[in-house]
Structure 1
Amino acid sequence: MRRPLLHLFASAVLAAGLAAVAVPAQASVTQPEDRFKRVAYFIQWGIYGRNYHVRDMDVSGAAKKLTHVNYAFGNVGEDGTCSSFDAWADWQRPVPAEQSVDGVADAAGQALNGNLNQLKKLKGKYPKLKVLISLGGWTGSKYFSDAVLTAEARAKLASSCVDLWLKGNLPGLPAGAGAGVFDGIDLDWEWPGSEGNAGNVIRPEDKRNFTLFVAELRRQMREFDSKSQLTAFLPAAEAKIDAGFEVRQVFGLLDFATVQGYDLHGTWESRTGHNGNLFTDRKDPNPVKYSVDATVKAYLTRGAPAKKIVVGVPAYGQGWMGVGAADRGLWQPAAGPAPGTWAAGNEDYKVLAAKPGKRYYDLLTGAQWLYDGNEFWSYDDPATLLVKAGYIRLKGLGGSMMWSIDGDDGKASLTSALYSVLR
């Protein structure tokens, strides 16, 4: 489909959504009246090769359009405590003036440097912006199961997380040097009770222990600060939901949860597919058919309140090469992952937006893809995100979450599309 048709469809969805759940147009992104969460992950390691810094969220205009920034990632170590994956990036690296939110370089001898100090400066500029530390991630979830196995272990892990990230007692710095950076904790255990990254510890009792840990962490967080927020990132696959999460109980303990709305298909598969289609594709030849809508329904039927479901959207695409021309490359066998800047089969939106090739839009699935006769890329652009935002609004869901903000372009086009609807 041509781009104008998708925009017409998006406009119809948005008009219906705005009429159904109207809010004052003048409401500010940072005002308490803000109904929808607009979350974006900031990746710790982005300051290196990607050269993406906390300041860039401000310069692009993204920061003023977000309600939450999730800082990825904090570690859950083999000893069952919270720690940093990269203390140099987190709080040790002196940030030069040209990379600083306020244009002021970190001074020699100051206690808190690095990304954490920049996040604190960003919050100073946008006082209603919440920053959460995300624990785990795909490569950092190996020891979660051990760390929550017993009541004593759960209390130990919760205490260490509160002490390190909320109280700000960072190793090698004066007590409380990191206080005030984080407003809460986001749990990214991938996945309780089912396979995640190779080598992860997995137990059937993870499902119950996750709930017990969330309850213990919530208790300790409230003792420290009753306003601190607790969230979690949850999977799309129903098998993983049922293996690892007592949905009704967990949502009752969380402020909200972000649910996986991407990597629904990817280059671990031998044929092309949609990265984050909104609705199920009837042409999907796979026995299990994924979509954002199917995932949302899976959580709703298990007792999750709609207003606490925050839908994940990608700022990147999944790509294959050696793809034949049948059906414009969709659901076709591929030779392997397409070349990517940082990893094969993966590319940022800001790169894909300028990539040559023909773009196709499917109004029935809310998906688009790029195909040039060899490479096939499935990714979201501002038009598809307008449709997703309209869906979120119409369904009375909690908002959107982007993985990850460094993939957006210099004008924050993806962030702005979501903000235009979800406020």
Structure 2
Amino acid sequence: MRPFRRRRLTALAAVASVLVTAAPPAGASATRGPNRRTGYHRVGYFTQWGIYGRAFPVKKLDTSGAAARLTHVNYAFGNISEDGRCYVDGGPGEGDAWADYQRPVPAEESVDGVADAWGEPLNGNFGQLAKLKARHPDLRVLISLGGWSWSTYLSNAARTDASRKAFVASCIDLYLNGNLPVLDGGSGGPGAAAGVFDGVDLDWEWPNWPGEPGNVIRPEDRENFTALLAEFRRQLDAYGRQNRRHYALTAFLPANPATMDAGYEGRKIFRYLDFATVQGYDFHGSWDGVTNQQSALRVPAGAPDDPDFSAEVAVDGWIARGAPRGKLVLGIPYYGRGWTGVTGGGDGLFQPAAGPAPATFEAGSEDYRRLKLLVGNGFTVHRDLRAGHAWLFDGTTFWTYDDPAVVWQKTRYIRRAGLAGAMVWSLDGDDDNATLTRTISQGLATP
């Protein structure tokens, strides 16, 4: 199978060139009007912690052109207490209220160029998101609850009718009413964050399935997940009637068919969701002893695992379980997974490796904006256009990642498959020109 792959790549090299050329250039003008009319969702996760080492303030969503090309920004993440409540806490490991709404943002990082003063009710990321929405009135911002690290107690929150009612009410009060705890200096207070968030994204990883060690898991999580969505929908609709508007409810769903069956009631959950984003990445990584793809559109020929994961496997898995195509949004990574100490020669794919590749923040994981700089600097780009994935290899170190050509190919799949759009994790992985976000925007706008 390996020689066949190399011949295929040689034969399709021209096609790859066309795909790269078709992706919009960094300086392309905004396509906001056409994109809004297509109806595709373009969802980007903004990470609370990206303002630090990655130097990615909310302002970059504006200056890069990303905000004009997105329909939704999901703020990652909101925490859940052991007794099942949404809360903000600045304690170690519990949150970063400083980043959320206390930090005075300097003028050079501010969306409108105006610096925050110490102690204003709404500083930090929340204040900047409010300013971003003022510039981009069509943009919707959702609070994403849970994530890998903070799904610990979602099972507690979803366990009973009473716990679900209390949990949802606490989240609406904190994020939609904007009743933030008052911090040292005075930031926060009643209604401080009102109007920042337009709904809730539930990122429970995972109901009735192992996630981060220490997570509470119960067999009844499967039914309780549905009941929790129903309670969110009920309270969000009631809240919306007061304000004469619709508040969105979305969820992040897994790629693993076994996890789908263990934790979700298939068709039922979509009665309550505006749409769901589907994990399209982390199929493989340095936890495997052999190099592989982490986000291929289809399972590559010659893959060592059978069955294996792919974006198509994930999407088809949800459709087979009753999900409507028009409510599925495909996840696309703005980072790659890497191995080093790769032996076996060739193009490096499906070869033994010694361990995770060195990287900027986490061994074995690197942002697209840094991986793109490796091209031509000792690394060669390889592609499998049939499977829809790319990788970099220098003879020793291997990175699987999505570049503009792969992203463009995925937008064409989204259109052909009748899906609802694309989601990205996470926006701080893109370059300063929002090249990948521009590619998604153009790919979903172009007939």
Normalising by structure 2, report the TM-score.
0.89
Between stretches 282-291 and 41-50, larger displacement belongs to 282-291
- What's 2:129 paired with? 119
Q: Which amino acid aligns with 2:33?
A: S
Structure 1 residue 337 and structure 2 residue 342: aligned?
no
1:328 and 1:40 map into 2 onto residues whose CA distance is: 32
Is it true that 1:107 corresponds to 2:117 in the alignment? yes
Q: What does residue 21 of structure 1 align with?
A: none
Quickly say closer, same or farther: Cα 1:384–1:141, change in 2 above 3 A.
Answer: same
Aligned pair in 2 of structure 1 residues 378, 243: CA closer, same or farther (>3 Å)? same
In the alignment, what sits opposite 2:55?
Answer: 51
* 2:251 aligned counterpart, secondary structure: strand
**RMSD over aligned Cα, in angstroms?**
1.7
Q: Among residues 179, 191, 195, which one is paired with 1:176 in the alignment?
A: 191
**1:78 to 2:97 alignment:** no
Cα deviation per residue 1:295-319 (whole Å; 9 max; x = unaligned)?
1111111111111100000000000
SS of the residue 2:150 aligns to: coil
Give the Å deviation of 1:34: 3.6
2:45/2:76 contact within 8 Å kept: yes
Distance 1:7 1:398, change over 3 A: farther
Name the aligned partner's letter for residue 306 of structure 1: R
> Structure 1: which amino acid aligns with 2:226?
T
Matching residue of 2:217: 202
Q: Residue 347 of structure 2: which of 323, 328, 340 is its match?
A: 328
Shift of 1:11: 8.8
Matched residue of 2:373: which SS?
coil
Q: What is the alpha-carbon distance in structure 2 between the residues aligned to residue 378 and residue 310 of structure 1? A: 22
Q: Superposed, which structure 2 residues align to 1:391-406 within 5 Å?
A: 391-406=413-428
Aligned to 1:65: 69
Secondary structure of 1:28's aligned partner: helix
* Change over 3 Å in CA distance of 1:76–1:315 after alignment to 2: same
CA shift for structure 1 position 422: 1.2
Can you list the C-alpha shifts for 1:250-281, whole angstroms capped at 9, x where unaligned? 11210000000000111111111101000111
CA distance in 2, matches of 1:126, 1:30: 14
Counterpart of 2:275? 256
Alpha carbons 1:70, 1:132 under 8 Å: kept: yes
Q: Equivalent of 1:285, from 295, 301, 304?
A: 304
State the match for 2:291 in structure 1.
272
Q: CA deviation at 1:27?
A: 6.6
The residue number in structure 2 matching 1:22 is none
Change (3 A) 1:89 1:28: same
Name the amino acid aligned to 1:347: E
User: Given residue 78 of structure 2, which amino acid in structure 1 is its aligned partner?
Assistant: G
Alignment equivalent of 2:102, drawn from 92, 95, 101: 92
2:392 corresponds to which residue? 370
Instruction: Give how far 1:48 is off.
Output: 1.2
Using the alignment, how far apart are the partners of 1:102 and 1:11 within structure 2? 34
**CA distance 1:11–1:398, change in 2 (3 Å):** farther
What is the alpha-carbon distance in structure 1 between the residues aligned to residue 268 and residue 34 of structure 2? 30
Percent identity of the aligned residues? Answer: 52
Measured at CA, do residues 7 and 390 of structure 1 come closer, stay the same or move farther in structure 2, by a change above 3 Å?
A: farther
Shift of 1:26: 7.3
Asked whether the 8 Å contact 1:27–1:34 carries over to 2, the reply is no
Indicate whether 1:28 and 2:33 are aligned.
yes
Distance between the aligned counterparts of 2:34 and 2:282, measured in 1? 29
State whether residues 111 and 128 of structure 2, in contact with CA within 8 Å, keep that contact through their aligned partners in structure 1: yes
Deviations 1:110-140 (A, max 9, x none): 2110000000000000000000000000011
Structure 1: gaps spanning 5 or more residues: 15-24
1:166 matches 2:176: yes
Q: Which SS does the other structure have where 1:106 is aligned?
A: coil
| CA distance in 2: counterparts of 1:360 and 1:30, whole angstroms | 31
Is the 1:325–1:373 Cα contact (8 Å) retained in structure 2?
no
Contact 1:272 1:376 in 2 (8 A): yes
Counterpart of 1:304 (choices 314, 320, 323) is 323
Question: Does the 8 A contact of 1:281 with 1:289 survive in 2?
Answer: no
1: CA distance between counterparts of 2:196 and 2:321?
34
Distance 1:207 1:66, change over 3 A: same
- Equivalent residue number for residue 37 of structure 1: 41
Structure 1 stretches of at least 4 aligned residues deviating more than 4 Å after TM superposition: 9-12
Number of matched residues? 411
In structure 2, how many angstroms separate the alpha carbons of the residues matched to 1:342 and 1:250?
36
Shift, 1:30, TM fit: 6.9
Flag structure 2 segments of 5+ consecutive residues without an equivalent.
1-8, 24-29, 89-94, 183-187
| Matching residue within 197, 205, 214 for 1:190 | 205
Q: Letter of the aligned partner of 1:186 in structure 2? A: D
Q: Which moved more, 1:2-11 or 1:45-54?
A: 2-11
Name the structure 2 match of 1:139: 149
